[in-house]
Chains A and B, each alone.
Chain A
Amino acid sequence: MLKFAVRRLLLLIPILLGLSILVFLFVRALPGGPETALLGERSTPERAAAVRAAYGLDRPVYEQYASYMGRVAKLDFGVSIQTQQPVTEEIGRRFPATVELATMAILFAVVIGIPLGFVAGRRPSSWVDNLSTVGSLLGIAIPVFALGFLLKYLFAVKLGWLPGTGRQDVRITTEHPTGFYVLDGLLTGDLPAAWDALKHLVLPAVALGTIPLAIITRITRAAVLETGNEDYVRTAEAKGMTRSVVTRRHILRNALLPVVTIIGLQTGLLLSGAILTETVFAFGGMGSFMASALFTRDFPVIQGGILFLAVVFVVVNLLVDISYGFIDPRVRAS
């Protein structure tokens, strides 16, 4: 098991190296180089030269890459043009919000998707199955931000049931020791604050979680349908096991194996979808920060953000792979 984890970890190294080169080249390839990107219309030959020197662009490429890697190793992605703060600090401040949102979104997708997919798979062509098929199709076909608009318009603007912007009511001023607002409210004993933060999460989480929900439902359905035809399920039936034991122990446990992998793969969707969702709901996380960086061409933030999110994606997938080893004895052994 340990060997398996270590080997998967080693496989990460070339991918991360490749990623760093890709992002390094990204900055080199900017139209007019970073000096134009950084200075824009304020650019003068003197200023451009100063920036080129500051970025070491007058040195050979391999030296540039080495010093860039040195900075990345120190988690130094430069300074944001919008806020004039170090990019690393900005990311650190905003990332908890995105994690909170993504967690809620995937929770929403898993809690509804697995039971729904399971029922649909056990009763193909029933009304539950047909409804979930149509629903999943709609969920995949609606652009994330459009669904966000729709939810916001219906539940925040028209009905006024839930808040449609921000992470917490502006009148609430509590401590934020972790940056996860719901958790912060619970930790500081301020339950109304936690409840308010939770309410602010509902609409963005539903918007962000809908595509994962559709995918998880479909995959669960297919896996349950396929597992139901496996020989070992017939064996369990032949052993006279009760219906509920056959369902839980023999079908569900095996059907969930592919679903776990799929849940891991949703991380990428959640992280990039957060850029859209957070913008719709003015949810002050990493995603809306990235989006505003795109509008203002804040390249240090775009560069650092993409590298950071890609690393998170890769690491989460690694964790999912390893956890897969725990639930599937065949992977553990090989």
Chain B
Amino acid sequence: MSGDAGVAVVDEVPGLVDGTPLLKVRDLTVTFSSRNRTTVRAVDGVSLDVAPGSTVGIVGESGSGKSVTSLAALGLLGRRGVEVGGSVEFDGADLLHMPEDELRAVRGREIAMIFQDPMSSLNPVLTVGRQITEILERHRDLKGNEARDRAAELLQSVGIGDSLRRLRSYPHQLSGGMRQRVMIAMALACSPRLLIADEPTTALDVTISAQILELLRLLVAETQTALVLITHDLGVVAGMCDTVHVMYSGRIVESAPRRALFAEPQHPYTTGLLASVPRMDQPRGNPLLPIPGSPSDTLPWSQGCAFAPRCTRRVPESVGCPPPLLHVGSRAGRHLVRCVNPVPSP
């Protein structure tokens, strides 16, 4: 499995789908540079496919580049000090090189996003209704009462009762869970084909977050919307994702169908994540094991495995040249791992 130095071993593409993928990301890199010339590579060659109607999870700690990947794909990172490389295709169209006007027409209509903190993500001086109707005006040409009625329907569909009255509320008058429901209603307003949810439940209480996840799961199933769920929480993906990609320090380190990932995690980082989460399928007595060190103890990928400084399965080959992302077992299993000393299957 180890690549010889000097021989370039090409990464396999995670989540490769048969037929045309809805979203096709190839070798995406994002580099931030600040004024004093320090540059940070937040995303370092990410490739992945999302099939129409599927649910894909991207898991990683904060700083692993999972959010930046999605923002970069939609051109939401701004222009100052950001450099984006590689390609992102949506339904065959290149999002990274699309003229700005066209990209704006795609955003909100074809691809929608939900963000982490529903309080700060909603405009505080506009009513909830206005924030929903403006998207209907923009992409659906609905105006006045028509737009208002449709907005009320949308609120109803995300489980907000008394919706006509609620349209006149301001974000600060709603609870956290309600606000996230509004965000979901806004995202689904134009029946997009892809929904990207970036940590949609992190800012919410545990019980509320379960409700929101269930709502998301039902809605995407009902509308055949593809969902990319970005989270730091394996518990969130366990319940709903078809495919899971685990990111560390800007690269995908493991990728597998959900069952395979939870049953036979290969990357020491993935097993570390799993061991640090309480699980229903383990005996109660099993201790939770934190991963030693912090995400800032990394190695640049060019010098070997970024996780090596924190890894308990580190071997001399971990350092030196970057490990490639390769298949575990047969190609049909679609299980990839980026490790020279993977965890043996149980």
Contacts and interface: CB of A to CB of B under 8 A. Distances in A.
Q: Do A and B come from one complex?
A: yes
Nearest to A330: B172
A234 B135 CA distance: 14
B216 to A, nearest CB: 16
The listed residue with most A CB atoms (<10 A of its CB), out of B104, B123, B139, is B123
B138 A245 contact: yes
Nearest to A334: B172
B135 A241 contact: yes
Interface residues of B, number: 30
Given A239-B107, A242-B138, A234 B173 contact: no
Interface string A209-253: 000000000000000000000111011111111110100011001
Contacts of B115: 231, 234-235, 238
A230 B170 contact: no
A92 to B, nearest CB: 40
Contacts of B92: none
Contact of B122 (A232, A237, A245, A257): A232
Interface residues of A, number: 24
A146 B61 CA distance: 59
A329 interface: yes
A333 interface: yes
A239 B172 contact: no
Interface string B111-144: 0110101001111111000000011001100000
- Which of A230, A238, A254, A328 has the most C-beta atoms of chain B within 10 angstroms of its own C-beta? A238
B124 A330 contact: yes
A264 B212 CA distance: 43
B139 A240 contact: yes
Contacts of B126: 249, 253
Contacts of A237: 76, 107
A327 interface: yes
A155 B173 CA distance: 55
B109 interface: yes
Contacts of A235: 113, 115, 121-123, 183, 186
B123 A240 contact: no
A329 B125 contact: yes
B223 to A, nearest CB: 17
A177 to B, nearest CB: 41
Nearest to B77: A234
B17 to A, nearest CB: 25
A237 B104 CA distance: 8
B108 interface: yes
Interface in B39-69: none
Nearest to B127: A329
Given A249-B134, A329-B170, A330-B170, A240 B108 contact: yes
B172 A232 contact: no
Contact of A231 (B109, B121, B172, B173): B121
A329 B76 CA distance: 28
B74 interface: yes
Given A234-B76, A241-B134, A241-B138, A327 B125 contact: yes
Contact of A240 (B105, B120, B172): B105
User: Chain B CB within 10 Å — which of A240, A328, A330 has the most?
Assistant: A240
A254 to B, nearest CB: 6
A328 B109 CA distance: 30
Contacts of A231: 115, 117, 120-121
B106 interface: yes
B123 A236 contact: yes
Which 10 pairs, one residue from A and one from B, show the smallest C-beta to C-beta distance? A240-B108, A240-B107, A239-B108, A231-B120, A238-B113, A232-B123, A329-B170, A231-B121, A235-B121, A239-B135
Given A253-B125, A330-B170, 11 more contacts: A236-B123, A238-B112, A239-B134, A239-B135, A240-B107, A241-B104, A241-B134, A243-B100, A249-B134, A328-B124, A328-B125
11 contacts: A230-B120, A234-B71, A235-B113, A235-B123, A235-B186, A238-B112, A239-B112, A240-B109, A245-B134, A328-B125, A329-B124
